[in-house]
Structure 1
Amino acid sequence: MAANSGTGYLCHQCAKAGGQDPFKKPTIPKKRTEKRNITTFEERRFPTLVSLCIQLITKHIDDVEALGDIGAMNVEAISKALSKNRGLTPQNAHLFYNPTNASLTLFDATNLPSPALETLVYHNANLVSLRLDFCGHLDDKAFTVFSTGLPSLTRLELLGPFLVRSPAWQAFFKSHPKLEGFLVTQSPRFDEACIKALIKNCRKVTDLRLKEIGKMSDVFLSEIKGLKLRYLDLADPTSSCSEKAMIALLRAVGKTVTHLDVSKHDLLTDGFLTKGLQAHAKKLDSLVLGHLPELTDEGVGAFFEGWKGSPPLLSLDMSRNDALAGAALKGAFKHSGRRLEVLNINGWKDVPEEDLMIIGHVGTELRKVDVGWCRAVDDFVVKAWLEGEELRGVVQGGCSRLEELKVWGCNRVTAACPRRKGLVIFGIESQASV
């Protein structure tokens, strides 16, 4: 090794004595990786006076003594704004309370403990509709107050009532025979005894959501058959219900259901589509079939082709079904394309470019589209959707009403993607380094 003085060389022993390792391999500098910058194109507008007032109120919510008569819509907007930073507390929650309230929505009740939820009931005794999101502190004691203190309640929507046990659910159903809407998400203690109590006592229920229910089983489906439902959401169970039980359920309630969500019931196959939906669902306008790995492209295409006698859908979500491709998309648009307003095919990675063009040709009523992870989507496809295509000198098609487009994972869509006033585009990967 060269000596530090710059003249001559050192043997191995002298190099070690000087604190240098002659056998040490030189380190290779790590290659710097570039981060991808995700771009969102959104039209910038001057804020309205109402939005400015809502921002001001939410910023100083702890100093506000009363909201006054500002209208239910604005109260809900303030509640939604507070939920962004979890600013709703027992101290400021009373601003939303009023004995004359018929409806109350709190979008984030994370910071409301059980006594605060009891106070909510005492100050809103005439509620007809109640929605509480992230109500993890709701326990049996507080829910018992719900049973006794809200006699007029006909619609209850809860997200995350983890602590409510089976006896409390049953007592609530017995005390509310006029219940018309019961929508609950993430309730691990909701069991077969609860669903039986619901069906026995609340025969007027038309809107039912049992989403992410850990104890969901075929017994639930056999009980639900006794209701005349309009809205049905059974998505994301811990274990899938059987296809046979699901078909039997649709045979009983399919004539009246307008919204159906059976996502992640991974035992469902193409047979459920033909023997269940095609045969018995005649009024659906919103359908969610996400994450069903047994569905095939040809089977879904054939289902839509043969779904005669049913009106076109307004909303279709078949996301996270990576086996679906062109046949399914063409079948869906042949059946519902001219009326469809919301489309989600996130994860359909193998849809060919020529089949994607049908979205712009037929979907003239589309408002929201999610084509995330569809590999063939690029700037030219988006341009054809927005502007239509010129055929024989005449521009045809085009999604002129499109308000929201999601292209997450579509790395062929660049920052040069065409844009339009009134349209928000989410997820463009500009490949720019940060």
Structure 2
Amino acid sequence: MESPNRSRLTRRRSGYGSDDLDASDDGDEGDQPKTKKAKLAKAALAKAKAKAKAKQKKKKGDASGSDDDDEDEYNALPIKNSRRITDLDDPTARPPIGSLEECAECHKEFTMTRYTVAADPGPGWLCHACAKAAGIDPFKKVAPRKRKAPTEKRKVVSYEDVERIPTLSGICIKVITQHLEDVEALGDIGVVSMNEILRVIAKARSLTAENSQLFYNVKNTTLTIYDATNLKPDALCALASLNPNLESLRLDYCGLIEGTAVEHWSNSLPHLKRIELLGPFLVRVPAWIKFFESKGPQLTSFLVTQSPRFDITCIESLVTQCPNLTELRLKEIGLMADSFLPHIAKLSDLTYLDLSRPKESLGDQAVVDLLAAIGGKLTHLDLSHNAFLSDVFLEDGVLPYTPVLTTLILSGLDDLTDRGVSKFFKAYRKEPPLIHADLSRCHELASDALTGLLDHSGRDLVELNINSWKDTSNDTLMTIASKASRLVRVDISWCREADDFVVKSLLDGCSSLAYIKCYGCNHVTDACPKKRGVNIYGVESHVAS
């Protein structure tokens, strides 16, 4: 008969009634001292493992399926006791998520989660409250592993011809720009020096409403501000009032200009003939229309970049009120469309036209019709990044209708083909030849197009940009210097066949060369030849880090 003390001990240890379903008949064991609990637990675990092994062997070897009388499924240890016995074997083992554990600090029972942290010093685990009290954030993310620094990296080097001995005027300009706030008046320093000071100030964006008045004069007929970022509408109104005789005004980065300033210019600048603005985002349609009405036929140049509110109503007013325009730039105009072109076609005196980077590309036929109307006097044409333009507008528009063109900028026209451009230049018999040719980022163009361009305009070409003509052969690139010896600026970036010998041929054959751009030309190394007075940009060299 089983001792009642043992039954109570088992029930108190495990908490499961199933421990007493079958009692041992081995006789009374009596109460065991508490210090022997670990030994009893190990013995019970060993017994359970032995039974499990015997049962497995019996399943494999005995086909009759008879059971041993000594084995009973109800003698299996409870799950809770089984885990704790395992922990006694390996105290550092992490309990499964969802199990109940006792906090090593406050001794309260809590549920294990993936965020539970071990006690320090161990053994045991801490509940979330105790972990936070100990200054440990259980939810802290592990810092990402740092990548190993590469053993070799690409380095782009530019070789610039730096002026070794600065001029006296250069030193004076540097001192003035560094102490601009302390200058009371510039005096009669000349237009060239004043422009140079404005350029240096623009780099630091230090022109304000207060110091800008140093550059204002009632005698000014031309004023260029290269960075008007800090000039608010009131300051721009003051600009017109203090320079009433301006005939030409250029403002770059004039994002704060509003309709009030433009309307003020309508009355305060009675002699204005040329206006060039970069970034007049806030000027609305009524202000533009009032400005055009006030200037009338005397306005000959209207050059605007990035004016999202300039719509077809504005272009109608411009063409009607200012019919004597010779220069027109509507660059990055969000509302530009083919519907603008019939109105522009009425400006028969245009010599300069820039309709680049519209939000939606102009079409071939619309451009052909425009050139048929105004192309006879055009010397400058920029239709860059009109993605829908193809060889058609070259053959049907530029070829027959632009006999005096000297600057052709067609950057980013992906539909132009090497064969089509080559055919265009072979048939384009006109005088004078092109002086500035920019067909950069037209990825389909290659050797045939370059040969046609050089044969047509090479003898007078001053600036050439064939950036991203990746398939152009080395032999064709070598002919640039011999056919275009008057080049001053050349960009051969991302022409993969360009190498040190191409650079050498340009340096030797082009006596007026000022700079070469060769970004992305892996065969041009830091050992390429250099020449005094010529800047070389974008030379790639691989150096150990």
Question: Could you tell me how far 1:31 is from its partner in structure 2?
Answer: 3.8
For the residues of structure 2 that align with 1:386 and 1:74, how far apart are their CA atoms? 31
Q: 1:88 matched to which residue of 2? A: 207
Check conservation: 1:76, 1:105, Cα contact below 8 A: yes
Among residues 182, 190, 193, which one is paired with 2:310 in the alignment? 190
Counterpart of 1:144 in 2: which secondary structure? helix
For the residues of structure 1 that align with 2:527 and 2:449, how far apart are their CA atoms? 30
Identity of aligned residues (%): 48
Aligned residue runs from structure 1 range 377-388, under 5 A? 377-387=498-508
For the residues of structure 1 that align with 2:430 and 2:465, how far apart are their CA atoms? 24
Which region of structure 1 is more displaced relative to structure 2, 67-76 or 309-318?
Answer: 309-318
Counterpart of 1:88 in 2: which secondary structure? coil
Among residues 134, 146, 167, which one is paired with 2:265 in the alignment? 146
Q: 1:430 matched to which residue of 2? A: 541
CA, structure 1 residues 168+403, in 2 after alignment: closer, same or farther (shift >3 Å)?
Answer: same
Check conservation: 1:285, 1:315, Cα contact below 8 A: yes
For the residues of structure 2 that align with 1:185 and 1:248, how far apart are their CA atoms? 24
Q: Deviations over 1:245-273 (max 9, x none)?
A: 10011111111000000001111110111
Is 1:180 the counterpart of 2:300? The answer is yes
Equivalent residue letter for 1:36: R
Q: 2:532 matched to which residue of 1? A: 421
Is 1:292 the counterpart of 2:413? The answer is yes
For the residues of structure 2 that align with 1:314 and 1:346, how far apart are their CA atoms? 17
For the residues of structure 1 that align with 2:360 and 2:432, how far apart are their CA atoms? 32
CA, structure 1 residues 433+195, in 2 after alignment: closer, same or farther (shift >3 Å)?
Answer: farther
Q: 1:42 matched to which residue of 2? A: 160
Question: Could you tell me how far 1:91 is from its partner in structure 2?
Answer: 1.1
Q: 1:319 matched to which residue of 2? A: 440
In the alignment, structure 1 segments of 5+ residues that lack a partner are 1-11, 20-26, 388-397
Equivalent residue letter for 2:484: G
Equivalent residue letter for 1:418: P
Q: Deviations over 1:59-94 (max 9, x none)?
A: 111110001000011111111110001010011000
Is 1:215 the counterpart of 2:335? The answer is yes
Over alpha carbons, which structure has the higher Rg?
Answer: 2
Counterpart of 2:302 in 1: which secondary structure? strand
Question: Could you tell me how far 1:433 is from its partner in structure 2?
Answer: 4.0
For the residues of structure 1 that align with 2:374 and 2:431, how far apart are their CA atoms? 15
Counterpart of 1:208 in 2: which secondary structure? strand
Check conservation: 1:266, 1:292, Cα contact below 8 A: yes
Q: Deviations over 1:5-52 (max 9, x none)?
A: xxxxxxx94775899xxxxxxx99844223322211112321111111
Q: 2:474 matched to which residue of 1? A: 353
Counterpart of 1:168 in 2: which secondary structure? helix
Q: 2:11 matched to which residue of 1? A: none
CA, structure 1 residues 184+433, in 2 after alignment: closer, same or farther (shift >3 Å)?
Answer: farther
Among residues 351, 355, 370, which one is paired with 1:249 in the alignment? 370
For the residues of structure 2 that align with 1:280 and 1:299, how far apart are their CA atoms? 18
Question: Could you tell me how far 1:312 is from its partner in structure 2?
Answer: 0.8
Q: 1:127 matched to which residue of 2? A: 246
For the residues of structure 2 that align with 1:109 and 1:433, how far apart are their CA atoms? 43
Equivalent residue letter for 2:240: V
Equivalent residue letter for 2:427: G
Question: Could you tell me how far 1:409 is from its partner in structure 2?
Answer: 1.0
Q: 2:325 matched to which residue of 1? A: 205
Check conservation: 1:36, 1:433, Cα contact below 8 A: no
Q: 1:402 matched to which residue of 2? A: 513
Check conservation: 2:404, 2:430, Cα contact below 8 A: no
Q: 1:100 matched to which residue of 2? A: 219
Question: Could you tell me how far 1:375 is from its partner in structure 2?
Answer: 0.6
Counterpart of 1:36 in 2: which secondary structure? strand
Counterpart of 1:156 in 2: which secondary structure? strand
CA, structure 1 residues 186+29, in 2 after alignment: closer, same or farther (shift >3 Å)?
Answer: closer
Check conservation: 1:322, 1:349, Cα contact below 8 A: yes
Q: 1:334 matched to which residue of 2? A: 455
Q: 2:186 matched to which residue of 1? A: 67
Which region of structure 1 is more displaced relative to structure 2, 147-156 or 307-316?
Answer: 307-316
Is 1:32 the counterpart of 2:152? The answer is no
Among residues 265, 269, 285, which one is paired with 2:386 in the alignment? 265
Counterpart of 2:328 in 1: which secondary structure? strand
Check conservation: 1:301, 1:330, Cα contact below 8 A: yes
Question: Could you tell me how far 1:430 is from its partner in structure 2?
Answer: 1.7
When normalised by structure 2's length, the TM-score is 0.73
When normalised by structure 1's length, the TM-score is 0.91
Check conservation: 2:378, 2:405, Cα contact below 8 A: yes
For the residues of structure 2 that align with 1:401 and 1:290, how far apart are their CA atoms? 25
For the residues of structure 1 that align with 2:415 and 2:537, how far apart are their CA atoms? 30
Cα RMSD of the aligned pairs, angstroms, is 1.8
Q: Deviations over 1:209-237 (max 9, x none)?
A: 00000011112111111111011111000
